[in-house]
Amino acid sequence: MSEEVLVEKADGVMVVTINRPDAKNAMNKSAAEAISAAMDDLEADGDVAVGILTGAGGTFCSGMDLKGFLKGESPFVENRGFGGLSQWTPKKPLIAAVDGYALAGGMELALSCDLIVANDKAQFGIPEAKRGLAAAAGGLIKLPRQMPWRIAMELALTGDFISAARAYELGFINRVSDGPSLDAAKELAAKIAANGPLALAASKGVIRDSHTWTDEEMWTKQQQYVAPVFVSEDAREGAAAFAEKRKPEWKGK
């Protein structure tokens, strides 16, 4: 794993930290590849239920590393997109913990996570239009699906930032913290990690994918995700634990 991305695991939660604070955690090729590798680790580790993506030094991610860009680097991973994440998602839940700025590609990384927790001083934006560019790593596609359409249009056309408080009002982020976002993200992750891993993956899958389903196919499509959950050992364990008034012991099968 690159030193530009740090990984820690504890209590069923993996924390992936973009570790380029001197560059405001701007994304370069090696960091993107390291995030992609961390996501593979998240998927493979049966002791980890939830991932958190955050940034070191008080900034989430300021976007693409322009110095790397000028050297011919691309902070994209094949089939996974910007930062190894914008065109792909792991099956397990992933939380963005945002301090400082989540701008341009950094905003698009946050958009690619399932949940967002932010410090109350955090700022979000896709300012590409101010530089004659467009937020092509998912911002233009995902933003109008995650906040009101006209607000997304305004952010894309003006390039202006919004505060964490405004983002929360719009339903774009889950929680605002007056302390480090990572602390609040870990609290949220702990609640998620206490639940059945198969149920988590199926629930995420349906919510993330169902926007493409027609009314005629949505029940059939949903069944493909949830049917294995109901016949799993974990389903029986969850019911037994409830009846016996004890904490369930998940096996992920």
Q: How far apart, in whole angstroms, are the C-alpha atoms of residue 10 and residue 243?
A: 29
Over residues 214-243, the pLDDT tens digits come to 999 999 999 999 999 999 999 999 999 999
Candidates 33, 43, 73, 128; catalytic one: 128
Do 138 and 217 lie in one domain? The reply is: no
43 catalytic per annotation: no
CB 162 within 8 A of CB 123: yes
Residue 72 predicted with pLDDT over 90: no
Which domain covers residue 140, as residue numbers? 5-193
> What pLDDT score does 59 carry?
97
Domains held by the chain: number: 2
- Tell me the pLDDT tens digit for each residue of 78-130: 999 999 999 999 999 999 999 999 999 999 999 999 999 999 999 999 999 99
Structure confidence by residue, pLDDT tens digits, 130-140: 999 999 999 99
8 Å CB contact between 41 and 76: no
Looking at the structure, tell me whether residues 13 and 94 fall in a common domain: yes
Residues 13 and 103 in one domain: yes
Q: Is 108 a catalytic residue?
A: yes
* pLDDT surpasses 60 at 1: no
pLDDT tens digits for 153-171?
999 999 999 999 999 999 9
Of 3, 108, 237, 249, catalytic:
108
